[in-house]
């Protein structure tokens, strides 16, 4: 059984990391995963842009104000790493200027990213330059290490937990570092298998002594379906996720839901377990492909997973906008909620192509199933 499971997981390699539009993740040397942390300062990048294609409507430029925009409080970041094996971690601090303390965002990658942070580079960069510490647990080092996917998720839960704790302990041990402000909780983002891990960790936050989840964004959460439909790696109950959380669950129309037999997987499996969260505090959403202009905007698995230089209008007008607004609303900005939750024009809008044609809007529902 174990050999068969490993064979199936190997056969799926590349299906759950970054999609074809996004490219492959970066790798790091063994030194970057050592028990002694390493630190580098990476110069800030200019706002991401998408080159126009002659004769075709182009994607909109990133906004210069509001959630998801290029109006960021910091112009640089500091990257540190530590831990060993699947318990390793990265932590990213905003600098230029360096705050004394900052809110914490925990970001979990998908399956088949065995090193580095390339898959989620652009989301991490945007989050950090916006003023948050990002904790990035390096919970996987091989196809079935530390866990064989959905057949036994618990070793990956333990590794992600170790990475989160290791990164926070590292910052707290050094007063010259930006200190994690988790007095009122933290935000959590999870992509693919990392979305399943995020849901389970958020569900167990109290028992695991994690920062209380205040905002959660799940991007096409999926455990591969190898052990059955309906995301069996999810905890049987997600009632441990605070009812006060603000939560968005996104599935791309060309992603998990489009695979044979998986119409009730991904967010359609997660959302029925969230009945204790009031309707106004959660949204089930879907992106759809829009080929009106060029490059086309696709809705494959990994809409929010952009490696360096690969972000597009769905990143800044959907992923980053909602992620920023969710966290702002959770921190008390009442005006931000309209851009993050509910079937509002602000939430649905993904901007316009250069010829004024609206980009396919976000589909928003209050209950599963969603059928984009």
Whole-number Å distance between alpha carbons of 125 and 24? 17
Where are the extended beta strands (E) located within the chain? 38-43, 76-82, 88-95, 101-108, 133-138, 179-181, 186-191, 213-219, 246-252, 282-287, 363-365
Tens of pLDDT, residues 264-295: 999 999 999 999 999 999 999 999 999 999 99
Which has the closest alpha carbon to 351: 67, 39, 103? Answer: 67
Q: What is the mean pLDDT of residues 16-38?
A: 37
The token duo for 280 is 């106004």
- Does residue 20 belong to any structural domain of this protein? no
How would you label 129-167 residue by residue, b for 16+ Cβ within 10 Å and e otherwise? bbebbbbbbbbbbebbebbbbbbbbebbbbbbbbbbbbb
Domain count for the chain: 1
Listed in sequence order, the DSSP H helices in 130-261 are 154-172, 193-203, 205-208
Phi and psi at residue 33, in whole multiples of 5°? -115, 20
Give tens-digit pLDDT for 211-262. Answer: 999 999 999 999 999 999 999 999 999 999 999 999 999 999 999 999 999 9
Query: What backbone phi and psi angles, to 5 degrees, belong to 118?
Result: -65, -35
Higher pLDDT, 124 or 34: 124
Is position 370 within any domain? no
Distance CA 200, CA 312 (A): 30
Identify the bridge partners of residue 217 per DSSP, sorted by sequence position. Answer: 189, 248
Residues in the chain: 372
Could you tell me the two tokens for 239? 């009632």
Q: Residue 4 domain-assigned?
A: no
pTM exceeding 0.85? yes
Q: Kindly state the helix (H) or strand (E) to which residue 363 belongs, with its residue range.
A: strand 363-365
User: What is the rounded CA–CA span in Å between residue 322 and residue 340?
Assistant: 5
Q: Could you tell me the CA-to-CA distances from 226 to 5, 96, 255 in Å, in that order? A: 8, 46, 16
26 assigned to some structural domain: no
Q: Identify the CA nearest to 57 among candidates 357, 360, 311.
A: 357
Calpha distance 321→324 (Å, rounded): 5
pLDDT at 2: 45
For residue 344, what are the domain limits?
35-365
Task: pLDDT band for 103, please (50, 70, 90 cuts).
Answer: very high
Helix (H) or strand (E) holding 234: none
- Whether 359 maps to a domain, the answer reads yes
Counting other chains too, the contacts that 92-95 makes at CB distance below 8 Å and 24 or more residues apart are 92/124, 92/127, 92/128, 92/133, 92/134, 92/136, 93/128, 93/133, 93/171, 93/177, 93/178, 94/128, 94/129, 94/130, 94/131, 94/132, 94/133, 94/178, 95/41, 95/178
Residues 310-336: tens digit of each pLDDT: 999 999 999 999 999 999 999 999 999
In a domain, 216, yes or no: yes
Cβ atoms 362, 372 nearer than 8 A:
no
Better-predicted residue by pLDDT, 264 or 16: 264
For the chain, give the percent of residues with pLDDT over 90.
Answer: 85
Say yes or no to pLDDT of 72 above 50: yes
| The pLDDT of residue 21 is above 70 | no
| Listed residue (130, 131, 138) closest to 161, CA to CA | 138
296 inside domain: yes
Q: What pLDDT digit, counting tens, does each position of 142-201 carry?
A: 999 999 999 999 999 999 999 999 999 999 999 999 999 999 999 999 999 999 999 999
The answer as to whether 272 is a domain residue is: yes
Which helix H or strand E contains 32, and what residues bound it? none
Per DSSP, the three-state class of 214 is strand
Residues 268, 251: contact at Cβ < 8 Å? yes
How many whole angstroms from its chain centre is CA 254? Answer: 18
Check which CATH number belongs to the domain holding 220 and give it.
Answer: 3.40.50.1820
Token pair for 41:
């300062």
């Amino acid at each position: 059984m174990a050999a068969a499971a490993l064979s199936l997981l190997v056969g799926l390699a590349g299906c759950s990391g970054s999609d074809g539009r996004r490219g492959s993740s970066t790798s790091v040397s063994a030194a970057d995963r050592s028990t002694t942390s390493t630190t580098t300062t990476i110069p800030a990048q200019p706002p991401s842009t998408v080159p126009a294609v002659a004769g075709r409507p182009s994607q909109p430029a990133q906004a210069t104000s509001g959630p998801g925009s290029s109006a960021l409080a910091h112009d640089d970041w500091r990257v540190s790493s530590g831990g060993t094996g699947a318990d390793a971690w990265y932590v990213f601090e905003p600098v230029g200027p360096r705050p004394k303390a900052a809110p914490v965002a925990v970001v979990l990658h998908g399956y088949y990213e065995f090193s580095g942070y390339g898959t989620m580079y652009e989301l991490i960069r945007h989050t950090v330059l916006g003023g948050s510490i990002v904790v990035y647990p390096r919970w996987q080092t091989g196809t079935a290490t530390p866990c064989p996917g959905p057949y036994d998720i618990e070793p990956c839960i333990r590794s992600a937990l170790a990475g989160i704790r290791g990164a926070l302990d590292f910052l707290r041990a050094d007063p010259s570092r930006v200190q994690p402000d988790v007095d009122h909780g933290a935000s959590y983002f999870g992509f693919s298998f990392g979305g399943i891990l995020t849901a389970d960790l958020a569900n167990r936050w109290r028992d695991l002594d994690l920062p209380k989840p205040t905002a959660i964004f799940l991007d096409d959460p999926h455990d591969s379906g190898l052990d059955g439909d309906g995301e069996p790696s999810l905890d049987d109950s997600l009632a441990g996720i605070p009812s006060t959380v603000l939560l968005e669950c996104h599935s791309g129309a060309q992603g998990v839901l489009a695979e044979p037999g998986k119409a009730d997987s991904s967010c359609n499996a997660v959302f029925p377990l969230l009945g204790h969260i009031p309707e106004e505090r959660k949204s089930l959403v879907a992106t759809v492909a829009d080929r009106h202009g060029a490059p086309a905007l696709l809705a494959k698995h990994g809409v929010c997973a952009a490696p360096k230089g690969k972000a597009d209008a769905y990143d800044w007008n959907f992923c980053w906008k909602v992620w920023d607004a969710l966290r702002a609303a959770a921190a008390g900005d009442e005006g931000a909620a309209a851009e993050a939750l509910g079937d509002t024009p602000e939430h649905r809008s993904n901007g316009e192509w250069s010829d004024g044609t609206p980009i396919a809007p976000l589909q928003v529902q209050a209950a599963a199933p969603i059928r984009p």
